[in-house]
Amino acid sequence: MNEKKEKILSESPDKKLNSLSLSELESLKQNYFSYLKLEKSYSSNTIDAYRRDLNRLFTFCLNNDTMPQDLIPPQLHAYSESLHGLVDSRSQARILSGMRSFFKFMLLEKMIDTNPASYIDSPKIGVHLPDVLTVEEIDRMESCIDLSKKEGHRNLAIIEVLYGCGLRVSELCNLKLSDLYLEEGFIKVFGKGSKERLVPISPRAVECLNHYFIDRNTWAILPDYTDYVFITVRRHPKNIGRIMVFHLIKELADKAGLQKDVSPHTLRHSFATHLLAGGASLRAIQAMLGHESIETTEIYTHIDKHRLREEILMHHPRNIKK
C-alpha cells in the first residue's frame, strides 16, 4: 500500500472523499470497465448497463462520505434497502449483481481483503414467462412481408434465421458471410463474451438466405461491411442495426394482428420452446442458445408446463363449459 493510500485510509470519513480527486474515482471506474471488456469480453451495451449501476453505487458513496473500497456490509445492506421503491425487483437484482461484480474486481486487484458484498441477497423474482409465438403466428408475420420491395427477401431471411437458429438480435446483426456453412447446414455464431458456437440452420432458412443473396449481390455495400450477412438498403448500405431489427419485428407483428408483446427475442424464445415441445433435450437447447448455465435454459420447461396447463383447461372434458 503506497503512502498516499495509507494517508487517505487513516483520515476521518468526512475527509476521505476530499482527499481523493474525481479523476481517481474516474480511474477506478475505467480500470473496472477495461476489466469487463478485456478480461470478461462483455459487449458495449452490457458495459453501459454496468456503468449506470456503478454510478448509482458511487452516488451512495458520495452521500455517505466513504470510498467504495471502505464500504462495509451494514452500509451495503442500507444501499440495497435504498433501492426498494425506486426500481422493481428485477432491476434490483441486476443492480446488486453488478455491485457484487465490482467488489470481486476490487478483490482481484487487492484493493480489499474481503468481499463485503458476498452476503447481500438479491430480491426473489418470480419466473417471467415470455410470450411465445406459434408456427402459424410466425407464418402470418412472414406473409405480411412485401417480397416485391428491395428489402423484402432480406426481411424474410431475418425472420427465418432468428426463429430457425434461435439467435440473439446482436448475433444476427454481427453474422458474417464467412460464418456461414450452408452446404453443411451450420452457421458459426459469436455470443456473449465472444463465445463461439455452431448452430444448425434449417433448409427453409438456407433457401430464404439464397433468395436474399440474389438481391444483396446487386447492392453497392460499403467496403468495411461486405462480409456482414444482413445489410441496410440505404444509399450507402452497411450492416443492419439492432434498432432496425426491433422496428421490423414490431411492424410485422402489428400487421399480422398479433396481440402479444413481440420482439426479436420472442422468436428466440419460440425457437427454444418449439424444440422442447418436439422432444429436444435441455442440454441440446442450451448448446444451441449459447446459455452458460443450464438454469437459464430451464425457463423453457416452465413455459412448456404453462402451455400444457392451458391445453388441459381448454380441451379436457371436465373443463369444457357446456
Q: Mind telling me the catalytic residues?
A: 168, 192, 265, 268, 291, 300
Cα separation, 54 vs 196, in Å, equals 29
Are 133 and 121 in contact by the 8 Å Cβ rule? The answer is no
Strands of the sheet containing 180-181, edge to edge, are 180-181, 186-190, 196-200
Q: How many CA atoms within 13 Å lie on the side-chain side of 79?
A: 30
DSSP3 helix / strand / coil % (the chain, rounded to 5): 60, 5, 35
Q: Which are the contacts of 134, defined by CB distance < 8 A and separation ≥ 6?
A: 270
Closest CA to 297 of 307, 286, 305, 281: 286
Cα separation, 65 vs 12, in Å, equals 10
DSSP notation for 7-21: HHHHS-HHHHHHHS-
Q: Is the torsion defined by CA of 139, 206, 132, 247 positive or negative?
A: negative
